[in-house]
Amino acid sequence: MFNLKKGVALLAVASALALAGPANAQTPPNVLIVGQIAEPASLDPHVSTAANDFRIHVNLYDGLVRNKSGTLEIEPALATDWTVSDDGLTYTFNLREGVSFHDGSPFNAEAVKFNFDRMLDEEHPYYDTGPFPLSFNFSSIEEVTVVDDMTVEFTLSQPFAPFLSNLASPTGLIVSPTAVEEYGEDYGRNPSGTGAFKFEEWESNQRVVASRNEDYWDGAPSLEAVVFRPITDANTRVAEMLSGGIDVLVETPPDNVATFEQDANFVVHEAVGPHVWYAMLNMNDGPFTDQRVRQAVNYAVNKESLVNDVLQGTAAVAAGPIPPAFNWAYNEDVDPYPYDPDMARQLLEEAGIEDGTELTFFVTEGGSGMLDPVPMGTAIQADLAAVGLDVNIETYEWNTFLSEVNPGLEGKADMAEMAWMTTDPDTLPALTLTSGAFPDEGGFNSSYYSNEEVDELVQQAREATDREERGELYKQIQQIVHDDAPWLFVANWQQNAVTTDNVQNFVVQPDFNLVLREVEKN
């Protein structure tokens, strides 16, 4: 087991040596130091919504299923196999025997039932340890039944095509019922899962430490420990990487990618994932209640310049809410809004928007694939100023930003940056573009976008079991949402991470998580 005091002492030594010697000699031997973009909000995967938190969760916990490394292909995890009834309403999972949570309590069917009942049943004794904002992913679950100690059955209210991919998401990770019962609302500071690494320490704004799980069912990892350090300023993260203070740098600023590519001490890892970067537009009050104004800002912003100049070619211009990584569901006939400030001015004039109209734009300092959010925000501000819109930027730290944006923009802001990384094309439209996903309904439709046809198409796609049929439905959704323009569609990111050259078997995952169980450090 990882000696925490020794590990902390080694970290102190590493910091002291940060200014000397080659990068790969600075961090403790066989301890991986990860430069995170922010302090985690919680280590309870059912409570969190941010990729920053999920990158820690996937190393502490397992789900019934998981994505095969480097893909979005589903493979067994805590479930060894499963069957689906002919009507698509019943999923029966056979569970892996001999697995224990890190606190020593057994993993079994009762534990699985506890997890989902806790998120979905308002009468459950530990429902108040939430809220559980992404439990929306499992709203189709009608009942979870313990068949026997190692068999669990899910009954759905209707066929739900994304069910397995949602189980593979961080919200589907299985927490220890015993730990939840012991810590209650403080469980997020005292996590216990079945994952490859065991929680050791969380020192606020300093680090989260996890040690090797020697009894891990899939084989003990090579690394002795992982330390997640929150370094919110991108330039500081880069400086820490260059000086040897960290081994892994996530969400590398585009301006610095070339620097690392040209340095033999580092390896740049890249992958195209299902990512959408956009600015939501408040359709409940203010000028964006008018479709012409929403379309105008899409014409007014030079997205090619954002992608090529600000993001240094590390992304592509987005055409709508479905990312091209889902090639079977992506509508190639829907083109991005071209840069056309004259058309923007014409639409604004038709809508009666006067020069100098003020807008409030919420921008974050960084988090969850936000891609240089402050430079991006200021570039968008300049482009909108050129067509007569006076944009006032309000900047927030990531967790504070979420607390402002997730409850909805009404009465607070006209625009807000946002980014989503998903494992199924259902997730983004279902959670951010349907009427049932308004903030007061537990969703993330902070724009208050509502279109009955989109609602119906999303529902049909969720129930369709044929992938080709689902794909056609999502293509229709993309066209309608593109035309309605509830968002300023900006970019699809090519995700990156940088490691020191002594880190082996590191893979950038398409779902943007940071799976470290197979990573080695020489």
Residues of the chain with pLDDT under 70: 1-25, 368-369
264 assigned to some structural domain: no
Q: What is the CATH classification number for the domain harbouring 157?
A: 3.90.76.10
Per-residue pLDDT, 327: 86
Per-residue pLDDT, 494: 82
From residue 291, alpha-carbon distances to 8, 295, 439 in Å are 55, 6, 21
Determine phi and psi for 185, rounding to 5 degrees.
-65, -15
Per-residue pLDDT, 14: 38
238 assigned to some structural domain: yes
pTM listed for this prediction: 0.76
**What proportions of the chain, in percent to the nearest 5, are helix, strand and coil?**
35, 25, 40
pLDDT digits (tens, 9 = 90+) for 303-362: 999 999 998 888 899 999 999 988 899 999 999 999 999 999 999 999 999 999 999 999
CA distance 480 to 473: 11
Residues 118 and 234 both lie in one domain: no
Residues 91 and 48 both lie in one domain: no
CA distance 352 to 422: 38
Per-residue pLDDT, 321: 96
8 A C-beta contact, residue 103 and residue 192: yes
From residue 300, alpha-carbon distances to 148, 305, 379, 395, 520 in Å are 60, 12, 11, 22, 47
268 assigned to some structural domain: no
From residue 314, alpha-carbon distances to 271, 410, 504 in Å are 10, 33, 24
305 assigned to some structural domain: yes
Residues 451 and 365 both lie in one domain: yes
- Both tokens assigned to 507: 């893979």
Q: What is the CATH classification number for the domain harbouring 437?
A: 3.10.105.10
From residue 364, alpha-carbon distances to 120, 393, 398 in Å are 31, 10, 6
From residue 102, alpha-carbon distances to 152, 168, 194, 350, 406 in Å are 21, 20, 6, 62, 32
Residues 50 and 107 both lie in one domain: no
Per-residue pLDDT, 465: 80
The owner of tokens 């490394």 is 69
pLDDT digits (tens, 9 = 90+) for 243-300: 999 999 998 888 898 899 999 999 999 877 788 999 999 999 999 999 999 999 999 9
Side-chain-side CA neighbours of residue 203 (13 Å): 8
8 A C-beta contact, residue 36 and residue 236: no
Determine phi and psi for 287, rounding to 5 degrees.
-65, -25
Least Cα distance to 105 among 201, 198, 194, 213 occurs for 194
Domain ranges, residue 470: 275-493
452 assigned to some structural domain: yes
Residue 232, class by beta-carbon neighbours within 10 Å (0-12 exposed, 13-18 middle, 19+ buried)? middle
Residues 475 and 328 both lie in one domain: yes
Q: Where are the beta strands (DSSP E) in 139-219?
A: 141-148, 151-156, 197-203, 207-212
Residues 225 and 356 both lie in one domain: no
Residues 142 and 239 both lie in one domain: no
In this structure, the strands spanning 65-67 and 225-230 are unpaired
Angle at which helices 467-484 and 452-463 cross, to 10°: 160
Taken as a whole, the chain contains a residue count of 522
Residues 334 and 234 both lie in one domain: no
431 assigned to some structural domain: yes
> Of the candidates 184, 203, 226, which is a domain's last residue?
184
Residues 20 and 168 both lie in one domain: no
Number of CB atoms found within 10 A of residue 255's CB: 16
> Of the candidates 184, 204, 228, which is a domain's last residue?
184
37 assigned to some structural domain: yes
The owner of tokens 């006032």 is 392
Residues 43 and 165 both lie in one domain: no
Per-residue pLDDT, 241: 96
The residues, ordered by sequence, that sit 6+ positions from 177 with a Cβ below 8 Å of its Cβ are 105, 110, 111, 114, 115
Residues 5 and 66 both lie in one domain: no
CA distance 287 to 438: 19
Specify the DSSP element, H or E, that contains 76: strand 74-76
Domain count, the chain: 3
207 assigned to some structural domain: yes
Q: What is the CATH classification number for the domain harbouring 16?
A: 3.40.190.10
Residues 87 and 45 both lie in one domain: no
Q: What is the DSSP letter of 101?
A: -
Please state the separation of Cα 190 from the chain's center in Å. Answer: 22
